[in-house]
A and B are shown apart, each in its own frame.
Chain A
């Protein structure tokens, strides 16, 4: 493999890791606050559709982005209503949200556009353009570093940079601010937060709102950045891979970045090479497809360090009697 190919694979790794990373950080906020979210997939899907649909209708990708965020926020709201307000089962609520998004996106797409459940292809202002960073053109000729900067670091859409900046920001919020302290506390011991005079419900809704915002960005990036429009089921399990990455990362922001880059790399490799020939031994593409899931199972099995989730995760907060 030559340097140019390597850069191309890494470049596509970054693109493919972006939606995973945004969704993973979304899940991180939610689960750190004690709300397990297996509905990441559905929220992303809803955001992908509405961002593409509104961008297609209005011609403005920014309006699309807002619509996408709004859609996944609504989904988050349903999840919150079920799992916080009515203390329902968070897993079941997440499953419901995934199906709701899967059905409603196609239903509305068909109603609005009649193109078999897709949106029209986005053009011009309907998509996020890639940004050329300063000096990218000028440095392009410099050996090694030039192409690296030009191909890999420069030339992505704004949401890619947002996603990567979210990592230190998330870390800072969680571990350096009052909000972060309370957020982590409510995922570990909501009764401690409650008796300290802070609203458990408020904190948890704040967490899932952030989760909605981030999955909104993730979905919008899928439909208006990575691709040019919405097709049915376009998230293709990314929400679950993000969930896997979250476990892989043991609910920590920097590790989330590494996990998502790893899974992004797997996807990039699977996309570029169908079957990988390792000197006569062929790794079929299906293995590459399944690898993130297999890795997650291995991690969950505790063979590579134990993943301990937030203690109050998945349990609705009920004042004890």
Chain B
């Protein structure tokens, strides 16, 4: 071990328009270590790492790699400095093969054939060495997200990266896959490679990193040895004050079944079956949490229940059947039936970003006769009500004339919540309620959900954050590959059991967990590849 850091950033600053994403950040990462960077959403972690990888250019500051000053103006410069990065949103060409993706930008010469041949050999070696096997001739679009991530890691290793940056790598993985990933990172560390891990999950930091830096609002607030800190201390450093990591709630008192879903099936535009016979019952006064890795049909479940994706099967609301396709099956009809919906993606679905806050407060309810006067809309009334809702939900700034895009993630989410909850629905569908939301708003949103439950409403909560599922749900259903793998009571299960269910493994295997998970995921991949043809 030497004293020369593998990476040293000095005084990095970066602004996007009026937003200061990074403010005078300095950091040292020693070789052969795993260094965590933790912070809330929007704290500037990804920006910082993208600067290191040459994806963005810093406004000020220096980058030193292995003791020498590097001018990293683009990704090519970062790659030649031995830096590789696995982005949160993969940078793969979907209709290229794995092999083509690997060599893209790292070809050996103007002709493809020799590059492909060499890459095939190297890939085989790497796969054996790091347990990173993928079929080199498969199209990326046919791979599961976990395997796509492997391709990204292989891309970096093929370019002989010594320093590997991973941005929120476990968001798309089942817990067992995440464990497997951590084993690979461990292996890389043992070989003397340096790993930088960006995450917002305290547990991961504690589990795998040697040192950890905490970011808050674009600034680096602390760098500590992981062994010498605690989750509580890190959380406080992230938020700047003491935070409650638990939600206070009383036991649920479930009432009558409000929403009864039987054998729901949905086929997407590409002809792939995304829901394969989902059945569940939602009772008044309870939170039913749907756990699962993203992309296993949860989004489609919300879309079908929300009225904007067609399905077969049956859904009854308070005993009355709801149409699942054709006329009468749209968002307005569902709202009229008493189903509110806070969608997973507020920017793409829940809000019209260029619309003002007041216009957004009636989005989906804009056809309500209350908001009409003759042929025109009664904008005065809408504005007045909007001002009201914004005050009550503590939306900041409380200015209804501001466009939605000008609010922070947390305040945008509050606008959506205000709109849906104020209509007093009997059933509320909530997808990823706290994605991209700061901790202060998370506490508020969680309290609102529990308050609604205690009023006797039924809440269907979809979240990929297992912690969130645990702290809010009265009952947990796990989705995998378009099916409900099982239902558990939170008190009677643990992360390991849910993690296995999330990978489609219903019985605790005798031998290695990851082997069972891998086998299950392989089966799913094969099924999907079959459906594509």
> Contact: B112 with A181, CB < 8 Å?
yes
A198 near B96 (CB under 8 angstroms)?
A: no
Selected from B74, B85, B93, B115, the residue in CB contact (under 8 A) with A192 is B93
The verdict on A188 contacting B93 (CB below 8 Å), with A176-B113, A177-B111, A178-B112 known, is yes
List, in ascending order, chain B residues with CB within 8 A of A198's CB: 76, 104-105
Near A by CB (< 8 A), chain B positions 70-110 give 74-79, 85, 87, 89, 91-96, 100-101, 103-107, 109-110
Nearest chain B residue, comparing its CB with the CB of A192: B91
Contact flags B56-78 to A (C-beta < 8 A → 1, else 0): 10000000000000000011111
Q: B56: which A residues are within 8 A, CB to CB?
A: 319
Assuming the contacts A188-B95, A319-B56, asked whether A196 and B110 have C-beta atoms less than 8 A apart, the reply is no
Chain B residues with CB under 8 Å of A182's CB are: 104-105
Closest to A178 in B: B107
List A residues 121-167 near B (Cβ within 8 Å): none
User: By the criterion CB–CB under 8 Å, are B92 and A179 in contact?
Assistant: no
Least Cβ distance of A170 to chain B in Å? 15
Cα-based distance from A319 to B96 in the complex (angstroms): 21
CB distance from B102 to the nearest CB of A (A): 10
In the complex where A176-B112, A195-B87 touch, is A189 in contact with B92 (Cβ < 8 A)? Answer: yes
Closest to B101 in A: A192
Task: Report the separation of the CA atoms of residues A321 and B46 in the bound assembly, to the nearest whole angstrom.
Answer: 9
User: Which B residues are CB-close (under 8 A) to A184?
Assistant: 93, 96
Chain B residues with CB below 8 A from A320, complex form: 89
Complex contacts, A178 vs chain B, CB 8 Å? 107, 109-112, 115
A180→B85 CA distance, assembly (Å):
25
- Please classify the interface of chain A as helix (H, G, I), strand (E, B), loop, or mixed, using the class held by over half of its residues: helix
Q: Which of B79, B94, B112, B115 contacts A188 (CB 8 A)?
A: B94
- Contact of B111 with A189 in the complex, beta carbons under 8 Å: no
B55 at the interface (CB under 8 A from A): yes
- Inter-subunit contact B93/A185 (CB<8 Å): yes
Is A191's CB within 8 Å of the partner chain B?
yes
What's the Cα separation between A320 and B75 when bound, in Å?
A: 15
Name, among B75, B93, B110, the residue most crowded by chain A CB atoms within 10 Å (CB to CB). B93
| Bound CA–CA A181/B55 (angstroms) | 21
Q: Determine whether the beta carbon of B89 is less than 8 Å from that of A176.
A: no
- CB contacts (< 8 Å) of B101 on chain A: these are 192
Cβ of A7: which chain B residues have Cβ within 8 Å of it?
A: none
Whether A197 contacts B112 by the Cβ 8 Å rule is no
**A194 interface residue (CB < 8 Å to B):** yes
Docked Cα-Cα span, A319 to B106, in Å, equals: 21
* Chain B contacts with A in 120-165, Cβ cutoff 8 A: 155
For B95, the chain A residues whose CB sits under 8 A away are 188, 311
- In-complex Cβ contact of A195 among B16, B53, B77, B115 (8 A): B53
How many Å lie between the Cα of A196 and that of B79 in the bound state?
8
Q: Does A70 contact B (CB under 8 A)?
A: no
Binary flags per residue of A181-220, CB closer than 8 Å to B gives 1, else 0: 1101100110111111111000000000000000000000
Cβ < 8 Å to B, chain A residues 206-262: none
- In the complex formed, the residue of B with least CB distance to A188 is B93
Which of chain A's residues have a CB closer than 8 A to the CB of B79? Answer: 196-197
Within 8 A of A (CB), among B247-280: none
Residues of B within 8 A of A180 (CB): 112
A185 to B100, CA, bound (A): 10
What chain B residues lie within 8 Å of A319 (beta carbons)?
55-56
- CA of A193 to CA of B155, assembled, Å: 12
CB pair A197–B75 under 8 Å, yes or no, is yes
CA distance A194 to B104 in the complex (A): 10
- Let me know if A195 and B75 touch, CB within 8 A: yes
Nearest CB in chain B: distance from A184 CB, A: 8
Do B104 and A193 touch across chains, with their CB atoms under 8 A apart?
yes
* A196 and B75 form a contact (CB under 8 A): yes
Residues of B within 8 A of A311 (CB): 94-95
Knowing A194-B55, A195-B53, the reply to whether A189 touches B91 (Cβ < 8 A) is yes
Residue pair B107, A181 in contact (C-beta under 8 Å): yes
> Given A177-B112, A185-B104, A319-B56: A197 and B92 within 8 A (CB)?
no
B110 proximity list for chain A (CB < 8 A): 177-179
Contacts of A196 in B (CB 8 A): 75, 79, 91, 104-106, 155
Q: Closest chain A residue to B106 by CB distance?
A: A196
In the complex formed, the residue of A with least CB distance to B110 is: A178
> How far, in angstroms, from A311 to B93 measured CA to CA in the complex?
10
Cross-interface CB contact of B75 among A175, A176, A188, A194, cutoff 8 Å: A194
A267 to B95, CA, bound (A): 36
Contact between A192 and B92, CB atoms less than 8 A apart: yes
- Chain B: which residue is nearest A311 at the CB level? B94
Query: Which A residues are CB-close (under 8 A) to B107?
Result: 178, 181
Q: Which residue of B lies closest to A199 (CB)?
A: B74
Chain A residues closer than 8 Å to B91, beta-carbon distance: 189, 191-192, 194-196
With a 10 A CB-CB cut-off, give which of A188, A193, A196 has the most chain B CB atoms. A196
B360 CB → nearest A CB, Å? 21
| B-chain residues with CB within 8 Å of residue A195 when the two chains form the complex | 53, 55, 75, 85, 87, 91
Minimal beta-carbon separation of A168 from chain B (angstroms): 16
CB distance from B7 to the nearest CB of A (A): 18
Among A179, A192, A311, chain B packs the most CB atoms within 10 A around the CB of: A192
Contact (Cβ within 8 A) A193 B105: yes
B113 touches A197 (CB 8 A): no
Contact between chains at A181 and B104 (CB < 8 Å): yes
**Min C-beta distance of B145 to chain A, whole Å:** 16
Residue in A181, A189, A193, A197 whose CB lies within 8 Å of B78:
A197
Closest to B111 in A: A177
A176 to B100, CA, bound (A): 12
- CB-defined contacts of A194 to chain B, threshold 8 Å: 55, 75, 91
Cβ-defined contact, B111 with A176, below 8 A = yes
Cβ contacts under 8 Å, A176 to chain B: 111-113
The CA of A319 and the CA of B109, in the complex, are separated in Å by 28
Nearest-CB distance from A321 to chain B (Å)?
6
Least CB separation from A191: chain B residue: B91
Give the complex CA separation of A182 and B16 in angstroms.
29
Q: Which residues of B contact A179 (CB under 8 A)?
A: 110
Give chain A residues whose Cβ lies under 8 Å from the Cβ of B55: 194-195, 319
13 A-B residue pairs with CB within 8 Å: A176-B112, A177-B111, A178-B110, A178-B111, A181-B112, A192-B91, A193-B104, A194-B91, A195-B55, A195-B91, A197-B54, A198-B105, A199-B74
Which 5 A-B residue pairings sit nearest by Cβ, starting from the closest? A196-B105, A197-B76, A197-B75, A195-B91, A192-B91
With A196-B104, A197-B75, A311-B94 already in contact, 19 other A-B pairs whose C-beta atoms are closer than 8 Å: A176-B112, A176-B113, A177-B111, A177-B112, A181-B103, A182-B105, A184-B93, A185-B93, A188-B93, A188-B95, A192-B93, A194-B55, A194-B91, A195-B75, A197-B74, A197-B77, A311-B95, A319-B56, A320-B89
